[in-house]
Amino acid sequence: MKFANVFVAVIIGATLITLVVMINSFRPAVVTKQPSPEFVRATGKCAECHSRTQYSIVHEFELSVHAEKNVNCLDCHSAQQGQSAQEHYGFEINPHVTAANCRSCHEQEYQQFLRSRHAAPSWAAVSGARDFTAEQIAHAEKFHPGAVDRPPNALAALEGEAAIASGCASCHSVGKPNADGTIGTCTACHTRHTSSVEVARLPSTCGQCHMGPDHSQIEIYTESKHGVMFHAQRDQLNLSAPPNELTTRDMFVPTCATCHMSGLNGMAVTHDPSDRLGYYLFAEITEERPGAARAREEMKAVCMHCHTETIVNRVYEQGDAVVEATNKKIAAVRATMEALRAEGLIVGEPFTNPIEFEYFDLWHYYGRTAKHGAFMGGADFVQWHGNYPILEHAVRIEDEAKKLRSEHAAPDQ
Ligand code: HEC
Ligand code: HEC
Ligand code: HEC
Ligand code: HEC
Ligand code: HEC
Ligand code: HEC
Ligand code: HEC
Ligand code: HEC
């Protein structure tokens, strides 16, 4: 063989190899990296097509632990009981993935979620019991008496369907019943294709819903020492540590999930964030929950993985005092409101008199905010977004009551 021929053959060979490598590099990683033939067939075909039109979705999936563990597109997109499949480019798919699909592999998380206030109570807070089956109502009522078997929210009804759909429902649909008989949306915290604990552990994930004047948790957290430290040291935290191995070496600064859900240093993970709560802080007048003592011990146990008892007890003692004082302030104004109704000076449906808004803001914004701020390190929220407007609104309402009474007492001429 002549040298020139060998040379040409080597060039052609090298070019072919380069071409194959180049073509391969344009194919999604899910196609090239996955070993299982079943995975390559299903996910490869879906990914090849969809990465052309929805690169972002396929890429998010590629970043997931699911992709790493050979969970494929069809594992989520095939029909479970109660769902219908449709023909889709040679596959049978279910486009509407719900908790039913996640549940097929994560039953334990589903059951914990199902007994939480993120499930049925969330949706019932807006729409009442009407969208649930009798069985679903009975199940949820066992854990949260009165939280599901109730009428639709009066304020939502006044605001109307369009406001409910883009407003209330965007947050409260985390617990909306699905047509397949399951409840809720796991992807509210895990996202649809990343399915990640890292995303679920970010304060901003909870803050999508836990924000604003009536539940300022993200704002409180951001100004707390914990929030400040999180933002300063985020890069040093191991946010993707597997939950059953999570320690304070990974998360030495807490996020919402750490205190309310995580299994820190061997504690059990919970998908029911009520497990560690002692009070109904969101209520007009705050009372202890059933099992408050156990719940408080559990939350304190989380704190104590990072703190000494002294600092933790101080926070709880000060929090208890704010709850008690706020209850007293609100009860006094509530008595005035009830008296005005009894005297016939406030009449008609709820939310039809200006003074009712003053009172609603008093407990629903400022009362809650003061209590939440006290337990989660938000001094500004206890004070300027809490107690100051409580005082201001109390003075206004008492003044308004005086005026209503004197107008009413004036003889008709
Ligand atoms: C040959 C290309 C092709 C393949 C292969 C393919 N898809 Fe699609 N897919 C599309 C197109 C185009 C659309 C949007 C229009 C439509 O619904 O047909 C779509 C839409 C979808 C939707 C949204 C449907 C809706 O109603 O909102 C889902 C979910 C989906 N595909 C999942 C998959 C899964 C899972 C696979 C693999 C089992 C797959 N696709 C395979 C081309 C493809
Ligand atoms: C962990 C479960 C899971 C896996 C795995 C999964 N999906 Fe999905 N997918 C979902 C969920 C949840 C939705 C949202 C469904 C809905 O809103 O009704 C969705 C929606 C979609 C949509 C419509 C998205 C849009 O924004 O319009 C497409 C397309 C899609 N998936 C394609 C894929 C492809 C391709 C794969 C594999 C590469 C895949 N999915 C793997 C859970 C999954
Ligand atoms: C076919 C089974 C299957 C389905 C369906 C499924 N998963 Fe998974 N999931 C797994 C496996 C396997 C793992 C890896 C577990 C491990 O390594 O311990 C996992 C891990 C996870 C993790 C932990 C990820 C991490 O960052 O450590 C989350 C969160 C998760 N899944 C959420 C979901 C959600 C939400 C859905 C539905 C949209 C879903 N899964 C559907 C099998 C599944
Ligand atoms: C930005 C997200 C968001 C929107 C929008 C929203 N909520 Fe909420 N809602 C929440 C969160 C988060 C809580 C839990 C607050 C807490 O425990 O401190 C909550 C709590 C509640 C509660 C008290 C808990 C209960 O079960 O009784 C009611 C009632 C309620 N919301 C009704 C509504 C209604 C009605 C609307 C629309 C008019 C609405 N919400 C709009 C996020 C939202
Ligand atoms: C309110 C937000 C939220 C919702 C809703 C939610 N999760 Fe999670 N999930 C989390 C957090 C936070 C973690 C990580 C806990 C930790 O830090 O240890 C987690 C962890 C997980 C894990 C890993 C558990 C382990 O022990 O390895 C799985 C699997 C999972 N979730 C599945 C689900 C499923 C299925 C649903 C729906 C039924 C769901 N999640 C709904 C926040 C949520
Ligand atoms: C999609 C919106 C949404 C997201 C995301 C969300 N929540 Fe919630 N959360 C709600 C709603 C709505 C309620 C009120 C449920 C009710 O009582 O009616 C609630 C209630 C709670 C409660 C109070 C439960 C009780 O018993 O009073 C805690 C604690 C909580 N969420 C923690 C979290 C944490 C931690 C995260 C993030 C890991 C998170 N939530 C993410 C919507 C959300
Ligand atoms: C350092 C731990 C810690 C962190 C971080 C934390 N919380 Fe809390 N949270 C608490 C404590 C303690 C309470 C009050 C417990 C009780 O009632 O006994 C509480 C109360 C709540 C409540 C009130 C439920 C009710 O009764 O109204 C909600 C909702 C909540 N937290 C959500 C969040 C969210 C969302 C974040 C992140 C933005 C967050 N928390 C961050 C410790 C924490
Ligand atoms: C994962 C670890 C972790 C957990 C869990 C945790 N904290 Fe912290 N906390 C920190 C760190 C780190 C700081 C800043 C410490 C420092 O500067 O020495 C801090 C600071 C504080 C401070 C401010 C101290 C000051 O005056 O500067 C208070 C108060 C506090 N935490 C209370 C709590 C309470 C109450 C809980 C439980 C409800 C809790 N923490 C849970 C890590 C944690």
- CA-to-CA distance for 276 and 267, rounded, in angstroms? 12
Residues composing the chain: 413
- CA-to-CA distance for 362 and 397, rounded, in angstroms? 10
Residue linked to tokens 């970010």: 202
- CA-to-CA distance for 4 and 15, rounded, in angstroms? 16
Percentage of residues of the chain with pLDDT beyond 90: 86
Confidence (pLDDT) at 28: 47
Confidence (pLDDT) at 391: 98
Confidence (pLDDT) at 188: 97
The alpha carbon of 158 and the centre of ligand 6 are apart by a number of angstroms equal to: 24
The alpha carbon of 127 and the centre of ligand 6 are apart by a number of angstroms equal to: 17
pTM, two decimals, is 0.94
Q: Are 378 and 224 in contact (CB under 8 A)?
A: yes
CA of 140: how far to CAs of 268, 287, 288, in Å?
22, 20, 19
Domain boundaries, the chain: 28-38+47-71, 250-413
- CA-to-CA distance for 14 and 289, rounded, in angstroms? 72
Give the containing element (helix H, strand E) for 274: none
Q: Whose CA is nearest to atom 9 of ligand 1?
A: 50
The alpha carbon of 101 and the centre of ligand 5 are apart by a number of angstroms equal to: 14
Q: Whose CA is nearest to atom 10 of ligand 5?
A: 200
The pLDDT of 386-407, averaged and rounded, is 97
The alpha carbon of 211 and the centre of ligand 2 are apart by a number of angstroms equal to: 28
Other CB atoms within 10 Å distance of the CB of residue 190 = 19
pLDDT digit string, tens, across residues 80-108: 999 999 999 999 999 999 999 999 999 99
Answer whether residue 190 shows pLDDT above 60. Answer: yes
- CA-to-CA distance for 71 and 64, rounded, in angstroms? 10
Contacts of 330 (CB under 8 A, 6+ apart): 284, 285, 362, 363, 367, 390
Please state the atom number of ligand 6 nearest to the C-alpha of residue 276: 29
**Tokens read off for 248:** 């304070």
CATH number corresponding to 250-413? 1.20.850.10
Confidence (pLDDT) at 7: 57
Listed range (22-36, 173-187, 302-316) with the worst mean pLDDT: 22-36
What are the phi and psi torsion angles at 8 (to 5°)?
Answer: -60, -45
- CA-to-CA distance for 191 and 205, rounded, in angstroms? 9
pLDDT digit string, tens, across residues 233-248: 999 999 999 999 999 9
Please state the atom number of ligand 6 nearest to the C-alpha of residue 122: 18
Confidence (pLDDT) at 21: 47
Residue type for position 332: A
Q: Are 341 and 297 in contact (CB under 8 A)?
A: no
Q: Are 207 and 217 in contact (CB under 8 A)?
A: yes
Ligand 1 pocket residue status of 193, Cβ below 6 Å:
no
Q: Are 41 and 48 in contact (CB under 8 A)?
A: no
How does residue 43 score in pLDDT terms, banded at 50, 70 and 90? confident
The pLDDT of 353-375, averaged and rounded, is 97
Q: Whose CA is nearest to atom 27 of ligand 1?
A: 95
Instruction: Tell me the DSSP string of 130-150.
Output: TTS-HHHHHHHHHHSTTSSSS
**Tokens read off for 167:** 């407003």
Of 397, 390, 391, the C-alpha closest to 368 is 390
Please state the atom number of ligand 2 nearest to the C-alpha of residue 96: 18
Answer whether residue 30 shows pLDDT above 90. Answer: no
HSE-CB at 220 with a 13 A cutoff on CA atoms is 28
What's the whole-number average pLDDT of the chain?
92
Q: Whose CA is nearest to atom 3 of ligand 7?
A: 259
- CA-to-CA distance for 114 and 224, rounded, in angstroms? 31
The alpha carbon of 174 and the centre of ligand 6 are apart by a number of angstroms equal to: 9
* Helix (H/G/I), strand (E/B), else coil: 277: coil
Tell me which of 24 and 349 has the higher pLDDT: 349
- CA-to-CA distance for 283 and 393, rounded, in angstroms? 18
